[in-house]
């Protein structure tokens, strides 16, 4: 696992906690940015950066839970772990159901935190890799003409060349030509690879 392409964001109103977390994480090779409030974090947050978030639950202004809600609204991909000195089971369950990776009570065990962060970084990198692949697939699909998109849709649905020809009122040879163009434009050589690109969401 590499740490150089993932940023750890810390959001905590306690300066001592921010400093100790930053020191611990930077000592383990992570890039770290710290913020004293959820509002401050959201102002500078860039969803294109591969990142993970460590957030305090109880803060003046926007709470950690409200910050989580806002990130969910924005479809932000970053994994979240909450830290708190006031943890309780219902709150932990609520944050986990909404996608938080973990919930650590202060004072937290440094080894536990390191393990959680390592897991979160892997998760963030996996998500970024999948998103990049989907973006590439969408760019390839955008090359197709509307007719090629119609043919592709029927290939994906399992229709044979003759059936596609009948559906679109074109010759089988024309269908074959469209298929060849589609394969070339999508940069694939097998139907299996074609399906992977076509089904990219």
* CATH number for the domain formed by residue range(s) 7-131: 3.40.50.2300
pLDDT of residue 4: 56
* CATH number for the domain formed by residue range(s) 143-198: 1.10.10.10
d(CA 106, CA 15): 14
pLDDT of residue 197: 87
d(CA 78, CA 49): 9
Q: Can you read off the two tokens belonging to residue 7?
A: 């940023």
Which residues partner with 53 through β-bridges?
9, 80
For residue 14, give the nearest of 69, 68, 84 by alpha carbon: 84
One digit per residue, the tens of pLDDT, for the chain of length 201 reads: 455 578 999 999 999 989 989 998 998 889 999 999 999 999 999 888 889 999 988 888 898 889 988 998 988 878 888 887 766 667 767 777 777 677 777 777 788 888 888 888 888 888 888 878 888 888 999 999 999 999 999 999 999 999 999 999 999 999 999 999 999 999 999 988 898 888 875
pLDDT of residue 1: 43
d(CA 150, CA 29): 50
For residue 62, give the nearest of 42, 89, 82, 77 by alpha carbon: 42
Is the separation of the CB atoms in 77 and 50 below 8 Å? no
pLDDT of residue 19: 92
d(CA 37, CA 34): 9
Residue with tokens 């926007």: 62
Is the separation of the CB atoms in 108 and 12 below 8 Å? no
Phi and psi (nearest 5°) for 116? Answer: -65, -45
pLDDT of residue 49: 86
pLDDT of residue 77: 78
Maximum Cα–Cα distance across the chain: 73
Q: Can you read off the two tokens belonging to residue 121?
A: 């970084």
Per domain, the residue ranges of the chain are: 7-131, 143-198
**Residues 6+ positions from 111 with CB-CB distance below 8 Å:** none
């Amino acid at each position: 696992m590499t740490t150089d392409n993932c940023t750890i964001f810390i959001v905590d109103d306690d300066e001592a906690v921010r400093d100790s977390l930053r020191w611990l994480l930077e000592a383990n090779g992570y890039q770290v940015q710290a913020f004293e409030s959820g509002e401050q974090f959201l102002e500078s947050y860039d969803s294109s950066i591969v990142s993970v978030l460590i957030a305090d639950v109880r803060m003046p202004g926007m709470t950690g839970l409200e910050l989580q809600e806002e990130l969910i609204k924005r479809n932000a991909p970053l994994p979240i772990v909450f830290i708190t000195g006031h943890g309780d089971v219902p709150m932990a369950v609520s944050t986990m159901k909404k996608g938080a990776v973990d919930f650590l009570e202060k004072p937290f065990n440094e080894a536990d935190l390191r393990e959680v962060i390592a897991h979160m970084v892997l998760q963030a990198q996996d998500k970024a890799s999948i998103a990049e692949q989907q973006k590439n697939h969408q760019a390839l699909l955008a090359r197709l003409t509307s007719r090629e998109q119609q043919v592709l849709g029927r290939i994906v649905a399992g229709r044979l060349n003759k059936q596609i020809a009948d559906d679109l009122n074109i010759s089988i040879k024309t269908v074959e030509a469209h298929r060849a163009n589609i394969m070339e434009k999508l940069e694939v050589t097998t139907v299996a690879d074609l399906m992977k690109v076509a089904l990219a969401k």
